[in-house]
Amino acid sequence: MNNVCLNSIEIYCTEITCRSGYNCVNIQYHVTSELHCFNCNNPGALSHTQTATVQITRLSIVLSGQDLVDWRKPLGWQVGYLGEKYDTWVHQPVDRPIRLFGNDFFEANTKTSWYMVPIVWMPLVIYLSWYCYTLLAQERTRLFITSDYSILVHKYSFPFIFMFGMFLWSFIEYCIHRFVFHMRPPAHNYYLIMLHFLLHGQHHKSPFDGSRLVFPPSLAAIVIGAFYLILRQMLPEGLGTSLFVGGLCGYVVYDMIHYYLHYGSPRKGSYLYGLKAYHVKHHFEHQRAGEDMRFEMPGIRASLYTNELKTSARLSEYKMFTVNNNNSDLL
């Protein structure tokens, strides 16, 4: 690449040696006037105005004039027409904003700031925790094993039920993410492709979109409400609600960790550092594999769910990305 202006293309590469001397395993950049290495955050690391010696082992290039969609229009109604090309297209990340709907109201409800999640849901977690504890303290909540035999659910069991709810959420999210979000929709089904893109595909297509890293409360309320009704029907109120509030708290922690994995700078060697390394691999190397370590309960390894996750990321050989100039330290 020698004094070549690349303004007209977008590039995603998984291995490149930049001028700063780092072996940047994952670099995502939207080419404007220069190539930007997100790993060392040096805007001049790969400038098209200078001679740059680069080594690219795996490269996917999307020419602006030859892309499969019209980026000027909402993508929600376009992706279904991609058919067999959809799966390859959606796993070629870009660093650009995505509009899903033409209607401003619908579009606004697909975006949210990260802090809205704890603002909306943590007061409910606190209130329901108090409510469940006082309800169990009345010693009238019993779990019937048979019609003749039941177990008293004591108030001191609330913390354990709460923690089990958090663990249950972790397992449910893992299953949904692996078997639903990362299923390959039938190429002939327009609506399933569109649904896949709206639910999760858009996040893999534009992983740097900070407005879509957490679940908007307006949409989350529908899913959360459904889980609440199911647990209330299956279990006594004190037990079912205690399990629900633990799961709700687990969801809030999960969403906050997911946002941090994209925008935070965890200390090298820390638990979150390893988690971020794995999550980066999920987005840029093993996109089609649903085994994502986006969230783990502290001390609970995702290897409980799949043997593939037992192998930790080799951090000494794996450089992580950052998209924030304030978090430009190498991890």
Along the 331 residues of the chain, how does pLDDT read in single tens digits?
333 333 333 333 333 333 333 333 333 333 333 344 444 444 444 433 332 333 333 333 344 434 799 999 999 999 999 999 999 999 989 888 899 999 999 999 999 999 999 999 999 999 999 999 999 999 898 888 887 888 999 999 999 999 999 999 999 999 999 899 989 999 999 999 999 999 999 999 999 898 999 999 999 999 999 999 999 999 999 999 999 999 999 999 999 999 999 988 899 889 999 888 888 888 887 766 655 444 444 333 343 443 333 333 333 333 334 333 333 333 3
Report residue 224 CA to chain centroid gap: 18
Which pairs with CB-CB distance under 8 Å and at least 24 residues apart come from 24-27? Answer: 24/319, 25/317, 25/318, 25/319, 26/280, 26/283, 26/284, 26/285, 26/319, 26/320, 26/321, 27/321
Which letter does DSSP use for residue 262 in this model?
H
- Pick from 294, 54, 32, 37: nearest CA to 169: 294
Contact between 79 and 193 under an 8 Å Cβ cutoff? The reply is yes
The predicted model scores a pTM of 0.71
Q: What is the DSSP string of 197-246?
A: IIIIIHHHHSTT-GGGSS--HHHHHHHHHHHHHHHHHHS-HHHHHHHHHH
Which positions ≥6 away from 9 have C-beta within 8 Å?
Answer: 31, 61, 62, 63, 64
Both structure tokens of 57: 């082992």
**Which pLDDT does position 288 carry in this prediction?**
63
**Which pLDDT does position 150 carry in this prediction?**
85
Both structure tokens of 55: 């080594």
DSSP bridge partners of 69: none
Strand-pair category, 59-63 with 9-13: antiparallel
What single letter denotes the amino acid at residue 176? Answer: I
DSSP bridge partners of 27: 13
Contact between 192 and 186 under an 8 Å Cβ cutoff? The reply is yes
Torsion of CA 103, 109, 111, 115, to 10 degrees: 150
- Pick from 26, 78, 120, 42: nearest CA to 317: 26
**Which pLDDT does position 171 carry in this prediction?**
94
The domain spans of the chain are 1-67, 108-273+283-315
DSSP bridge partners of 37: 42
**Which pLDDT does position 158 carry in this prediction?**
97
Contact between 244 and 165 under an 8 Å Cβ cutoff? The reply is yes
Contact between 158 and 136 under an 8 Å Cβ cutoff? The reply is yes
Only one residue has tokens 């972790």, namely 170
